[in-house]
């Protein structure tokens, strides 16, 4: 399916209207903010020290992505987002490009730069 396909646009608009916007409204009512939208005068610094991770790499199987994302959002007390995980991952293959890019780059592409 092409991203310019009217069916894709319809699916995305429906997902937005029926799932994403209501979830955002519930988050807003709870006062959830993911980041500040401006400077915080009371903050002495925005610097945060790097936190070491247990592992640099994590292997994830494709069929477990939705459940991993849902569990992460549940742990972060974001049930509104957790309930979107399955529908979001179900939507992804339906809106993905119809075919893979060939990977070949024209030898003349440097001319554009």
Residue 113 has pLDDT above 60, yes or no: no
Binned at pLDDT 50, 70 and 90, residue 104 comes out as confident
Model pTM score: 0.69
Q: pLDDT of 21-59, one tens digit each?
A: 999 999 999 999 998 888 888 888 888 888 888 887 878
Q: How far apart are CA 69 and CA 91, in angstroms?
A: 15
Percent of the chain with pLDDT over 70: 86
In degrees, to the nearest 5, what angle opens at C-alpha 67 toward C-alphas 64 and 70?
150
Please state, in angstroms and rounded to a whole number, the distance separating the CA atoms of residues 58 and 39.
34
pLDDT per residue as tens digits for the range 59-95: 888 899 999 999 999 999 999 999 999 999 999 998 8
């Amino acid at each position: 399916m092409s991203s310019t396909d009217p069916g894709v646009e319809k699916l995305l608009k429906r997902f937005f209207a029926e799932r994403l916007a209501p979830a955002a409204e519930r988050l807003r009512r709870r006062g959830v903010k993911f980041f500040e939208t401006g400077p915080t005068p009371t903050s002495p610094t925005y610097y945060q020290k790097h936190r070491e991770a247990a592992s640099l790499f994590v292997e994830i199987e494709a069929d477990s992505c939705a459940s991993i994302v849902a569990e992460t959002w549940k742990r972060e007390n974001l049930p509104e987002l957790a309930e979107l995980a399955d529908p979001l991952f179900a939507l992804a293959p339906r809106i993905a490009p119809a075919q893979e890019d060939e990977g070949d780059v024209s030898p003349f592409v440097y001319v554009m730069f």
